[in-house]
Amino acid sequence: MTLLAVQNLGKSFGGVVAARDVAFTLERGEMLALIGPNGAGKSTVFNMIGGQLRPDHGAILLDGQAITAASPQARFRKGVGRTFQVAQTFLSMTVVENVQMALVSCHREAQGLWKPTREHYRGQALELLALMGMADAADRSCSALAYGDVKRVELAIALAGGPKLLLMDEPTAGMAPRERAALMDLTSSIAASRQIGVLFTEHDMDVVFGHAARVLVLLRGEIIAAGSPDEIRQNPRVRQAYLGD
């Protein structure tokens, strides 16, 4: 069954149409890129799927079940994970504590004192960090990490909820080109091995075309093209409107 189905989504801010009848689907294990110039409506679409924004109309289905009106927390429990453009880690805590906290907060039965509860999840947190290549940094303070490493911790936090769907709005913003490709390589391999559907946006077209199975092009709130990286690269409308022909 289709993992995510977005139907006829619309959102306006005053007179600005940020999303106009946006519709697409995403399968398990698929890497789908949503690209478009600044102001095209990408974050608006991410926020409607994540539950941070309520659409004016349309529907969002996860595994065939409508989540259009669910809170972000309810979506998280149903398997929608996300990372943010500005990394949201607690700098005063260690790397592993950040991941432990994410594990605690997504297990509703985990109540009681923070310290013993947290210790229960240390092993699982270390496994997630090992997956990110961050095991060595487990006991360092998050504030001491390089920016690219903070992004990896953020990905570990997003994976702590065991998501079916991962939303990544500009996951590599502020990273050096080589780090960007590395983070997306890691994301691709996790998506494939855990069969997680990933919707991401990214400015670096080499990264987009190198990692997405399919690409959606958004322009002024409308999807003007959808297809494989090759189809998108060759699409005259996309070249003219966006890729700078």
User: Footprint of ligand ADP on this chain (CB under 6 A)?
Assistant: 13, 16, 18, 36, 38-44
Cβ neighbours of 126 (radius 10 Å): 17
Comparing CB distances to ligand ADP, the nearer of 9 and 159 is: 9
With respect to ligand ADP, which residue has the nearer C-beta, 13 or 90?
13
- Selected range binding Mg ion among 4-12, 41-49, 159-167, 224-232, rule: CB under 5 A: 41-49
- Considering CB distances under 5 to 8 angstroms, the limit depending on partner class, which of Mg ion, ligand ADP, none binds residue 83? none
Strand order in the sheet with 31-35: 80-83, 165-169, 197-201, 31-35, 214-219, 222-227
Q: How far is the CB of 142 from ligand ADP (least distance, A)?
A: 26
Report the residue number, 43 or 98, with the smaller CB distance to Mg ion: 43
Q: Which does 40 bind (CB under 5 to 8 A by kind): Mg ion, ligand ADP, none?
A: ligand ADP
Nearer to ligand ADP, 44 or 89 (CB): 44
Pure H helices in the chain = 42-50, 72-78, 95-105, 114-120, 122-131, 147-160, 177-194, 205-211, 229-234, 236-238
State the minimum distance, in angstroms, from the CB of residue 44 to ligand ADP. Answer: 3
Which is nearest to 199 in space by CA: 57, 10, 11, 25? Answer: 25
Alpha-carbon distance of 150 to 64, in angstroms, equals 34
Q: Which is nearer to Mg ion, 29 or 72 (CB)?
A: 72
CA 135 to chain centre: 22
CA atoms within 13 A on the CB side of 33: 28
Shortest separation between residue 103's beta carbon and Mg ion, angstroms: 28
Which of ligand ADP, Mg ion, none is residue 13 near (CB under 5 to 8 Å by kind)? ligand ADP
The residues facing 212 across adjacent strands are none
Given ligand ADP, Mg ion, none, residue 38, with its beta carbon under 5 to 8 Å by kind, binds: ligand ADP
Least Cβ distance, residue 141 to ligand ADP (angstroms): 31
Question: Binding to Mg ion by residue 47, rule CB under 5 A?
Answer: no
> What would you report as the CA-atom Rg of the chain, rounded to the nearest whole angstrom?
18
172 touches Mg ion by CB under 5 A: no
**Structure-token pair, residue 185:** 């390589």
Query: Residue with structure tokens 């690269």?
Result: 233
Q: Is 43 in the site for Mg ion (CB under 5 A)?
A: yes
Residues forming the site for Mg ion (CB under 5 A): 42-43
